Amino acid sequence: MKASYSNTNGYSDKELVIRFRNADTSAFRCFYERYYDVMYLAAYHLLRDEEDAQDAVQELFSNIWQHADRLDPDGNIKGYLYTVLRNRIMTYMSRSKYLDEYINSYIAYEKQEICVTEESVLVRELEQLLEEKINQLPPKMREVYRLSSYEHLSNKEIAHRMDIAEGTVKQHKHQATQILRRKLQHLVGFWYFIVGFFIN
């Protein structure tokens, strides 16, 4: 006889996984409720849309239930959940409605406190990748990018410091965004938003 839901609350993640790998729906329900909130917050943090975040998390757990045999009870269970969730978010973030928002979200994202270890590691890796690609930009374009994204100067201030027209500043910023987006989208898929900076 399968354990009732109330009796599964005290189980470890490993015990729950072992049980729902054997079709114990009560164990899966407990696992679902244990991780739903943290997965939803991670999804919403990236998608910034409640409905899409909910859909992504529902698809995550549907995938986990349907392919429970892929989840190693002795492995990094939370890390595996994040990996599957990222795969779902990749699909959502490939939609055009997210492109403009996320290409401009890096600075705000960078300032936030990140509590998820897996996410922190990925962000650091992408920061290094971003820096590498920034250094490949033409000199003036690179300087405009840095003054805008790191020193937070306005177009007018950048134009004054570099002794160039304000329209030229806007052009450099737009071109830099396009170049970095193409390069990083090819390399890191849905994480292309990491290259964003203030373009107004």
Q: Buried (b) or exposed (e) across 118-134, using 16+ Cβ within 10 A?
A: beeebbeebeebbeebb
- Of residues 152 and 4, the one with the higher pLDDT is 152
The pLDDT tens digits for 114-150 are 444 455 555 565 567 677 888 889 999 999 988 987 7
- Whole-number pLDDT of residue 108: 47
- What is the average pLDDT across 81-91? 81
Complete domains list, the chain, with CATH: 9-93 (1.10.1740.10), 98-195 (1.10.10.10)
Q: How confident is the model at residue 165 (pLDDT cuts 50, 70, 90)?
A: very high
- Give residue 174's pLDDT: 87
Q: DSSP letters along 169-191, please? A: HHHHHHHHHHHHHHHHHHHHGGG
Residue 97: pLDDT band (50, 70, 90) is: low
At 196, list the tokens.
């964003």
pLDDT of residue 170: 92
Q: Which pTM value belongs to this model?
A: 0.51
Q: Place 51 in a pLDDT band, splitting at 50, 70 and 90.
A: confident
For residue range 168-181, list pLDDT tens digits in order: 999 998 888 888 77
Within 22-94, where are the H helices?
25-47, 50-66, 77-93
